[in-house]
Homo-oligomer: A and B are copies of this chain.
């Protein structure tokens, strides 16, 4: 059968991996897809490197627009990243009737609505399995595997860099800065790690999963995004004593008042499987009303794991490209005319539990003052540790875990507690999820 011709934009880490895996597993992939899938054209700024990798059979150009307009190209694979030229290229490819496969989470999370509308109008597919959790087929699971369910919530470890850093901080008791440097040295963190450690990358991926899970547009701008840069090693230790691990979770939950969309360090019970996902690995826990909790685990980044997702999309598009658009899997899992725009819940209204660490004077009555303020906000306490002060010290730490409350109530309580003269430092506040 006639091969499918792929135009590749960007032959860096993931692009190179895609080329390698497509070539190495050519026979196996053809046996599955029913026809050969071959990269016939590559655009990269570094034309020489691109020629070196592709070896000669492939047309190489430094003009990406030449690829997205080429009449021979059936599917464009966009691996440039970012929302600048990548957006123009994807829209131009769609305009030219090309199907698009992309690993670009930033693009989909911020401009997905516009891109999917354009694709819809031109009857082409935009596939983005590689945009979330690398090689784990989580988009497919959400969009096709769990169609029977009302999805209740999703909690994901969807950034390998931060999970590696948190694992090391816990293992070795080291502070964030030190571990970050080690992660950079080992290649787990980039020279400018901001997007990862500030939670932006995780929020991109979370936004995409929320859209698919609930049939809503992408709303990256409304996500609460909080990274791990302010996390202290001692809170990881205290959490452990209380039976919890701290993970940077992307959380989205369907509530009657709106959709929660938040990324922040989170205490989770150490006995949960997802709490034991270590190093640079990713995992996504999905709660459906029929299926219960299901978990998906694997490598969230890297050349070949990401290529695995890119190629799975290529096979899907190859299988479906001649079929009636209405028989295809919809981009955001729900049919375009069946999307709804649920409100995103402001953080102040989110209900969760809290971990609080308070630096206080070591004298009788302190705890009573604190618990009275919490009680006034209807916040009840689930567990507590009060440290013995060190030899000659007059201050000590109190660690509290609360039951479920609203963020605005804990905000109010914290403001009042911090104004007590016996409280000697800003309160450390982390969120806690049981994930049941």
Contacts and interface: CB of A to CB of B under 8 A. Distances in A.
Given A291-B304, A305-B290, A148 B21 contact: yes
B322 A324 contact: yes
Contacts of A129: 145
A330 interface: yes
Interface string A24-48: 1100111111100000000000000
A137 to B, nearest CB: 3
Contact of A291 (B147, B273, B298): B298
A289 interface: yes
A146 interface: yes
Contacts of A145: 129, 137, 140-141, 312
Contacts of A167: none
Contacts of A423: none
Contacts of A334: 31-32
Contacts of A298: 291-295
A210 interface: no
A46 to B, nearest CB: 24
B25 A312 contact: no
B320 A327 contact: yes
A141 B144 contact: no
A307 B147 CA distance: 11
A22 B147 CA distance: 10
Given A292-B298, A319-B328, A323-B324, A25 B149 contact: yes
Interface residues of A, number: 67
A150 interface: yes
A32 B327 contact: no
A333 to B, nearest CB: 6
Contact of A146 (B30, B33, B137, B295): B137
Nearest to A285: B297
Given A290-B21, A323-B324, A311 B147 contact: yes
Given A141-B141, A323-B327, A290 B135 contact: yes
A296 interface: yes
A322 B30 CA distance: 24
Contacts of A370: none
A7 interface: no
Contacts of A294: 135-137, 296-299
Contacts of A311: 147-148, 290
A338 to B, nearest CB: 4
Given A141-B141, A297-B295, A323-B327, A150 B25 contact: yes
Given A137-B145, A148-B309, A291-B309, 19 more contacts: A21-B148, A29-B148, A31-B215, A32-B335, A34-B335, A137-B294, A146-B312, A148-B308, A273-B273, A276-B276, A290-B305, A291-B299, A291-B305, A292-B299, A293-B299, A294-B296, A297-B297, A319-B327, A322-B327
